[in-house]
């Protein structure tokens, strides 16, 4: 299988991250991006967009055509075929004509007709209509899975907070609940990224926080001319709990994005 370094539609920073995930060849890349769920998982772990993964997969499929090497890759790219989907948009006659024209411009010998027809036919078997039809239900299934995982993580975080939060003093209870839910937000972002995961996290945490830690808590304030014998009153769980949940989630999200934006030293250069 060709190495992923042969992919021209992938930035060097992602090549390094893919290799750290054990993805060294286009064959492995195709395997770990075979379904919608796997594509989302891969995108999350290399801080990329799902559309980036689809683009890499498209070119990797073309590189795995029979009797296809770097010279053929250059030839088809010059002909305007940067991936499998581009081949699927033309008929076999147009496909051959564009390759022959590109070979003439590059002053190289074009592949024989049998090879070109073989590529065109093989392209229609690598990504079948059945795979495309399965994409939509697979995507819905992945969203539902992240929603459920988010609910479970949120509920567990709320349960832990209710078990360890002291009843007195009030300020310590606020700190404990907030800290536990910050950690819950981080875990939820890692375990179930995306809007569906966040929605599940909020749903699971909010319900249990209201049930287990819904009592009103009062934190006394110093007596000043602005207020007199008053304090801050709010429901313990939904108050610091949901704020902590958002802080943890956003913090984990920002950490991934910052790591993704950090430039990676070029290959072969000193760090």
Calculate mean pLDDT across residues 25-37. Answer: 90
- Whether 270 maps to a domain, the answer reads no
Q: Are residues 27 and 129 in the same domain?
A: yes
153 CB-near residues (< 8 Å, 6+ apart): 184, 187, 188, 191, 192, 200, 201, 204
Helix, strand, or coil (residue 179): helix
Q: Is omega for the bond preceding 169 within 30 degrees of 0, making it cis?
A: yes
In a domain, 267, yes or no: no
Could you tell me if 127 and 142 lie in one domain? no
Residues 199 and 223 in one domain: yes
Same-domain pairing of 87 and 156 = no
- Is the pLDDT score of 224 beyond 70? no
On whether residue 194 sits in a domain, the answer given is yes
pLDDT digits (tens, 9 = 90+) for 168-205: 888 888 899 999 999 999 998 888 877 888 899 999 99
Confirm whether 268 is domain-assigned. Answer: no
Asked, for residue 271, whether it belongs to a domain, the answer is no
Are 111 and 16 contained in the same domain?
yes
Last residue of a domain, one of 80, 111, 133: 133
128 domain residue, yes or no: yes
Tell which wins on pLDDT, 231 or 12. Answer: 12
Axis-axis angle for helices 50-63, 70-78 (nearest 10): 120
Spatial neighbors of 197 by CB under 8 A, at least 6 apart, are: 146, 147, 149, 150, 188, 189, 191
pLDDT at 260: 47
Assign 262 a pLDDT band (cuts: 50, 70, 90). Answer: very low
pLDDT in tens, 125-146: 886 443 443 444 445 777 788 8
Q: Please say whether the beta carbons of 90 and 117 come within 8 A.
A: no
pLDDT tops 70 at residue 60: yes
* Domain boundary pick from 73, 106, 133: 133
| Same domain membership, residue 129 and residue 115 | yes
Domain boundary (133, 153, 187) is at 133
Whether residue 76 sits in one domain with residue 8: yes
* Residue 217 resides in a domain: yes
* 119 and 240 share one domain: no
Q: With DSSP H G I counted as helix, E B as strand and the rest as coil, what are the percentages for the chain, rounded to 5? A: 70, 5, 25
Same domain, 55 and 152: no
Whether residue 246 has pLDDT greater than 60? yes
Higher pLDDT, residue 118 or 215? 118
Which distant-in-sequence residues (6+ apart) come within 8 Å of 267 by Cβ?
12
Closest CA to 157 of 138, 174, 178: 178
The answer on pLDDT for 227 being more than 80 is: no
pLDDT, the chain, mean: 83
Q: How many domains does the chain have?
A: 2
Which residue range(s) make up the domain with 47? 4-133
Tokens of 55: 């683009």
Tell me if 241 sits within 8 A of 176, measured CB to CB. Answer: no
pLDDT greater than 80 at residue 122 = yes
Selection from 7, 68, 66, 13 nearest residue 33 by Cα = 7
Query: Is 35 a residue whose pLDDT tops 50?
Result: yes
Segment 12-17 shows an average pLDDT of 90
Question: Is residue 266 predicted with pLDDT exceeding 50?
Answer: no
pLDDT value at 236 more than 50? yes
Same domain, 246 and 141: yes
User: Do 153 and 36 belong together in one domain?
Assistant: no
| One domain for residues 222 and 233 | yes
Q: pTM of the predicted model, to two decimals?
A: 0.50
């Amino acid at each position: 299988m060709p190495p992923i370094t042969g992919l021209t539609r992938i930035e060097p920073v992602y090549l390094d991250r893919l290799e750290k995930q054990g993805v060294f060849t286009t064959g492995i890349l195709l395997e770990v991006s075979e379904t919608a769920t796997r594509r989302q998982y891969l995108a999350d772990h290399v801080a990329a967009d799902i559309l980036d993964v689809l683009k890499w997969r498209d070119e990797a499929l073309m590189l795995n055509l029979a009797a296809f090497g770097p010279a053929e890759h250059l030839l088809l790219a010059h002909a305007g075929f940067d991936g499998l989907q581009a081949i699927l948009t033309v008929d076999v006659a147009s496909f051959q004509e564009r390759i022959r024209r590109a070979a003439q411009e590059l002053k190289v010998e074009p592949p024989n007709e049998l090879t070109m027809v073989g590529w065109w036919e093989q392209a229609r078997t690598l990504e079948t209509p059945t795979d495309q039809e399965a994409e939509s239900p697979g995507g819905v299934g992945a969203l539902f899975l992240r929603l459920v995982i988010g609910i479970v993580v949120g509920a567990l975080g709320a349960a832990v907070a209710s078990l360890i939060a002291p009843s007195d003093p009030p300020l310590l209870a606020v700190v404990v609940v907030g800290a536990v839910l910050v950690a819950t937000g981080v875990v939820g972002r890692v375990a179930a990224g995306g809007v569906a995961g966040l929605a599940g996290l909020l749903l699971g945490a909010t319900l249990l926080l209201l049930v287990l830690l819904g009592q009103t808590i009062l934190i006394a304030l110093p007596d000043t001319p602005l207020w007199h014998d008053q304090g801050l009153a709010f429901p313990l769980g939904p108050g610091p709990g949901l704020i902590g949940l958002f802080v943890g989630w956003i913090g984990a999200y920002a950490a991934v994005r910052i790591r993704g934006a950090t430039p990676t030293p070029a290959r072969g250069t000193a760090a």
